């Protein structure tokens, strides 16, 4: 029995949903072929995840790895360029997640609607000679715009913020959500997992261990001296010489620079960052599912120190962060490092808060200039 025209059209629409980002505003009223949601037959139920910046150096491998995650049922890929190609490519993978692509600012809201988890690697990468602060002026505006979309379309989503400088972009995101009246500190997490991944790897190399069996708490922030590995709390317990402590601390703090210089202008730590981001996202999804004992390090709204944001171990649950753990006992080396970290971190946090306040002021001035009679 041959399929009728209606069935054929539906099949074509299903294929089209894989290959093209939705743009319903351009559909012609007379067309009988609209794009349909494409769901893998027999695909298991899971969570809806959006990646903002999915066509970038981090975004592409991140999207591929998230497509492989069995906890993901719907994967939305958003960027301002090249999303259709990335979507078509990743949609050919024979895993259960449904992939949809969204291109440009006009499709941001559609990309975000109904999401459970939003991962943000969007922004420009570091280049040789650049610090994370050099990225601030560009990436701060990008993060602000994306978080305004989140506040409007999926205010209950867990947000994993990767865009650098994380020490400043997380405070920006918090201010955006506060302005929108949607801020929930449990749901905003700056991703510092790459520092932990590096720490585990480098310690394992020095001690001759399997890195998968090493756990190094890394606290503070996500740039230079604000990255503080607590080598006194490594599991399994390890004894280091002072020379090893100096070497490991310096390498963990400057791991990003190591990759930028090694790539010689061809990019930054994109692959290891994507791996770390997926590892952290998987932890968030397992916690959303109801798994207990999910503990990871993240840069979050915190009372661990006098600073409003700080990276430390947190326990994740169905609504985001359930508990922020204290630092635990520090040795003298770590106490000195903590004071150095807090000084620079405080300045970076204030930079993000100040940016948000200036943006609000400029918006208000612009509205007054457009409507002087209402001022």
The full DSSP string for 348-369 is HHHHHHHHHHHHHHHHHHHHHH
Global pTM value: 0.87
Spans of the chain below 50 pLDDT: 21-44, 361, 363-375
CA trace torsion 40, 44, 46, 52 (10° rounding): -20
Which pLDDT score is estimated for 138?
87
Which pLDDT score is estimated for 42?
43
Closest C-alpha to 139, from 161, 160, 113, 115: 161
**Which residues are designated catalytic?**
222
Which pLDDT score is estimated for 135?
77
Backbone φ, ψ for residue 53 (5° rounding): 105, 35
Strands 227-229 and 294-301: unpaired
CA trace torsion 204, 68, 127, 137 (10° rounding): -120
The H or E element that residue 74 is part of is strand 72-79
Q: Look up tokens 């002072």; give the residue.
A: 242
The helix, strand and coil proportions of the chain, stated in percent and rounded to the nearest 5, come to 50, 15, 35
Domains 44-191 and 192-357 share a fold: no
317 near 287, Cβ under 8 Å?
yes
Which pLDDT score is estimated for 17?
55
Does 122 carry a binding-site annotation?
no
Backbone φ, ψ for residue 353 (5° rounding): -65, -45
Q: Where are the domains of the chain?
A: 44-191, 192-357
Does 139 carry a binding-site annotation?
yes
Does 54 carry a binding-site annotation?
yes
Does 15 carry a binding-site annotation?
no
- For 44-191, the fitting CATH number among 3.40.50.720, 3.20.20.30, 3.40.109.10, 1.10.3720.10 is 3.40.50.720
Is 24 buried (19+), middle (13-18) or exposed (0-12) by CB count in 10 A? exposed
Which pLDDT score is estimated for 30?
33
Domain 192-357 has CATH 3.40.50.9100: no
122 near 52, Cβ under 8 Å?
yes
């Amino acid at each position: 029995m041959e399929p009728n025209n209606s069935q054929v059209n539906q099949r074509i629409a299903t294929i089209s949903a894989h290959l093209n980002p939705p743009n319903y505003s351009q559909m012609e009223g007379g067309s009988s072929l609209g794009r349909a949601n494409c769901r893998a037959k027999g695909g298991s139920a899971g969570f809806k995840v959006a990646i903002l910046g999915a066509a970038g150096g981090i975004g592409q491998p991140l999207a591929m790895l998230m497509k492989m995650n069995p906890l993901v049922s719907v994967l939305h890929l958003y960027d301002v360029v090249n999303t259709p190609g990335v979507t078509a490519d990743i949609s050919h993978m024979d895993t259960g997640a449904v992939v949809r692509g969204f291109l440009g600012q006009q499709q941001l809201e559609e990309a975000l609607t109904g999401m459970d988890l939003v991962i943000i690697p969007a922004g420009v990468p570091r280049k040789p000679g650049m610090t994370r602060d050099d990225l601030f002026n560009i990436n701060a505006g990008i993060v602000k715009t994306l978080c305004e979309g989140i506040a409007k379309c999926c205010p209950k989503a867990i947000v994993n913020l990767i865009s650098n400088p994380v020490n400043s972009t997380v405070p920006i995101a918090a201010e955006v959500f506060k302005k929108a009246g949607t801020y929930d500190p449990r749901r905003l997490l700056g991703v510092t997992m790459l520092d932990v991944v590096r720490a585990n790897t480098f310690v394992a190399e020095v001690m001759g261990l399997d890195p998968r069996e090493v756990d190094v708490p890394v606290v503070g922030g996500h740039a230079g001296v604000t990255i503080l590995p607590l080598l006194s709390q490594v599991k399994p317990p390890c004894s280091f010489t002072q020379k090893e402590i100096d070497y490991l601390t310096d390498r963990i703090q400057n791991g990003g620079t190591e990759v930028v210089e090694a790539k010689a202008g061809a990019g930054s730590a994109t692959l290891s960052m994507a791996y770390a981001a997926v590892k952290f996202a998987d932890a968030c999804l397992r916690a959303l599912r109801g798994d207990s004992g999910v503990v990871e390090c993240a840069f979050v709204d915190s009372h661990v120190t006098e600073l409003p944001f700080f990276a430390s171990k947190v326990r994740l649950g169905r609504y985001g962060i359930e508990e922020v753990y204290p630092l635990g006992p520090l040795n003298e080396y770590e106490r000195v490092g903590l004071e150095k970290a807090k000084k620079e971190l405080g300045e970076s946090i204030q930079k993000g808060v100040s940016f948000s306040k200036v943006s609000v002021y400029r918006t208000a001035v612009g509205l007054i200039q457009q409507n002087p009679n209402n001022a």
